[in-house]
Structure 1
Amino acid sequence: MGQLNSCCKPAIKDCDSVYKYHHCTPTQSSTSKVENHSHPIVDGKKERRRKEDAFKKKRRFWKWAFSHRRGGKKYLKTTSGQGSEENQDTEAAETPSDSPSARSSDDHISLQHVILTVENHVRQDLCTSNPKVLPTGQPEADDNCLHLTVPEWSDNVLPTPIHSAFDWSTDVLPAPVCSASDWIINSQHYKIGNLLGEGGFGAVYEGSRLEDGVKVAVKFVTKTENVVYISIPGHPQPLPVEVALLILANEGPRVSEIIELLDWQDRPDDYVMVLERPSPCKDLFGVTERHGGFIDEELAQVVMRQATHAALTCCQRGVLHGDIKLENLLFNEDTFEVKLIDFGCGDLLVNSPYNLFIGTDLYCPPEYTMEGQYHGEPATVWSLGVLLFALVCGDYPSDTDLDVINANLWSKSGLSKECCHLIGCLLQYNPEQRIQLDKILLHDWLKVLKLYLL
């Protein structure tokens, strides 16, 4: 690595920062220090990391300025030379006084001064050191830096709260506010009740059909510019993909393991689906959590038989669900019935490979990660394997678990050999070596279904 003998901009900035930190001004000898500063020639990646680290430090100082108002006043003294008005403020802040009024003004120093000073300091550094990274996201707009308001800057600097996986309200589009009143959907009257759940693009409310009192779930899905419509036989106009797939999955003899679509309506800003609402019921994620994270093998056998039947029926009717997981399986603890819900990540089943996976990452087939494509039925088999593993082990399979499974060496205390064998058949890295979807129900573990009693 070579040395820069001429005046180096990062060196000037480093020396400047040192003098500012110690509340003094550079001496004449500082010029020679800067000119002889040893500064290695760095590549673009290291320079970008250095600028990102500097930006993070500024964010930390911003938080400090808000939490320590006294510290903010001290910082005002070190930012002289930024303008005549700012110099006057700093001189006033530095003027000592023992009078009660002076102490009162010190104790209640305007936070607005602190915000403006910090904003100007950080904004100036951003514009000089990295003009391509601005708080507003504007590329190389130096003039914009001078016109940022305090609220705009603070909104971009203050850290975003970290939300848990269950804080749905942070990632959802505005859902319609439904009161306990009558709604008319395709000439049918429904009474809308409490909110049942909220997802990425809509909300589900409990309801009842006024004509016969049947309990229903009413799902409002907000339309986005990426909403997909597809055409299916028997419907002249294209339908939202979730509606179309539910219609196809419910065609033919009734399959109780798939949620039934009772009615739906397309509207300018959203579409509404009226679904059956089994009661009482809870998704399998909540059931496993209530049982300590996992369920016993016999109950898992009951669940897997129904989940596999639902997945197989969907594929036989030309539907790829695309997101079979604990949260998308409703479980009735009184009748032990399972229902597959939420076809929003699905697609029509085709023989050609898919190049896009929009389901849950934990259930993503490995061939998509390695090759960027996957086939529908083998990917469904993989998701059923992750589901079974989570049900009986209380966790998702790690890379180590998958390596041992593919070496045919995996077993778990408390599980039968048949159950461990089925997990090994479902979670094979090579999709061609996985058990076929229509063969799962013929496996020894599921061939004889025991009657599960509490």
Structure 2
Amino acid sequence: MLWFSLSEKQHFCKLYHFGPVVLGRGSCGVVLSGQRLSDGLPVAIKRLSRELVWQWAELDGALSPVPMEIALLKRLSGVEGLKGVIKMLDWYEVEGWGFLLVMEQPPHCQDLFDIVTQRGALPERLALRFFRQVVEALQVVHLHGVVHRDIKDENIVVNTRTLEVKIVDFGSAALLKDGAYDEFGGAELS
């Protein structure tokens, strides 16, 4: 979605339903379970408070700047074959709610922090498998001009059945650049 109207809240509520489960919390928002009403697809809905967003970007078709996270996820969601990064399906700005990012909710997933907390240290072979997937995903992310800047176990979700990983939470991400990142700030995207 590239533009906003006063009826976005009504539009969002016709397409999606918030679920009861809090999937995660961050410094700028909360991620809730949800469902796409047209087909019952489970989704994750990240709610970003406008007041807590510190990086903004211009996005073609948007009436006003959007959180950098939306611009970068939009860029990455269009990358063919990128499996190691969470995909943003839609986004909205809703008065009184802030920004809502509708993302895929991979089945049977748990973040790596919780896995290690519950099960203890990972066997070396499994850790290597996860590490390889993260590095391969980050290589593609970098090729598309994005740097995550917050890779940690809480931002890696694992499908506990297939052992595939996905990188989540691009709230600290930025455009890739040469040189040091010495400040946290937004940039323009077209």
Fold shared, TM-score > 0.5 on shorter chain: yes
**Cα distance, 1:268 vs structure 2:** 3.8
**Cα distance, 1:200 vs structure 2:** 1.7
Greater Rg over alpha carbons, structure: 1
Q: Is the 8 A contact 2:28 2:53 kept in 1?
A: no
Alignment match, 1:98: none
Distance in 2 (alpha carbons) for counterparts of 1:252 and 1:198? 26
Distance in 2 (alpha carbons) for counterparts of 1:207 and 1:228? 26
Alignment match, 2:5: none
Alignment match, 1:96: none
Greater mean alpha carbon deviation, residues 303-312 or residues 235-244? 235-244
Q: How many residues are matched?
A: 173
Q: Is the 8 A contact 2:150 2:173 kept in 1?
A: yes
**Cα distance, 1:183 vs structure 2:** 6.8
Q: Secondary structure at the match of 1:200?
A: coil
Distance in 2 (alpha carbons) for counterparts of 1:216 and 1:183? 18
Matches within 5 A, 1:244-259: 244-259=71-86
Question: Residues 286 and 183 (structure 1 numbering): CA distance in 2 closer, same or farther, change over 3 Å?
Answer: farther
Matches within 5 A, 1:428-439: none
**Cα distance, 1:277 vs structure 2:** 0.4
Alignment match, 2:16: 190
Q: What per-residue deviation string (whole Å, max 9, x for no partner) do you get for residues 365-405 of structure 1?
A: xxxxxxxxxxxxxxxxxxxxxxxxxxxxxxxxxxxxxxxxx
Q: Would you tell me which structure has more helix in proportion to its own residues? A: 1
Q: Would you tell me which structure has more strand in proportion to its own residues? A: 2
Q: Is the 8 A contact 1:284 1:330 kept in 2?
A: yes
Alignment match, 1:289: 117
Question: Residues 275 and 291 (structure 1 numbering): CA distance in 2 closer, same or farther, change over 3 Å?
Answer: same
Q: Which of these residues, 353, 368, 391, is aligned with residue 180 of structure 2?
A: 353
Q: Is the 8 A contact 2:28 2:52 kept in 1?
A: no
Q: Is the 8 A contact 2:57 2:68 kept in 1?
A: yes
Q: What per-residue deviation string (whole Å, max 9, x for no partner) do you get for residues 149-178 of structure 1?
A: xxxxxxxxxxxxxxxxxxxxxxxxxxxxxx
- Give TM-score scaled by structure 2 length: 0.83
- Give TM-score scaled by structure 1 length: 0.36
Matches within 5 A, 1:160-175: none
Distance in 1 (alpha carbons) for counterparts of 2:86 and 2:40? 19
Question: Residues 296 and 344 (structure 1 numbering): CA distance in 2 closer, same or farther, change over 3 Å?
Answer: same
Alignment match, 1:342: 169
Alignment match, 1:271: 99
Distance in 1 (alpha carbons) for counterparts of 2:11 and 2:126? 40
Q: What per-residue deviation string (whole Å, max 9, x for no partner) do you get for residues 178-217 of structure 1?
A: xxxx9742x8511211122222221111111110111101
Alignment match, 1:331: 158
Identity of aligned pairs, percent? Answer: 34
Amino acid at match of 2:177: V
Runs of 4+ in 1 over 6 A off after TM superposition: none
More relative contact order in 1 or in 2 (CA 8 Å, sep 6+)?
Answer: 2
The CA RMSD over aligned residues, in Å, is: 2.1
**Cα distance, 1:343 vs structure 2:** 0.3
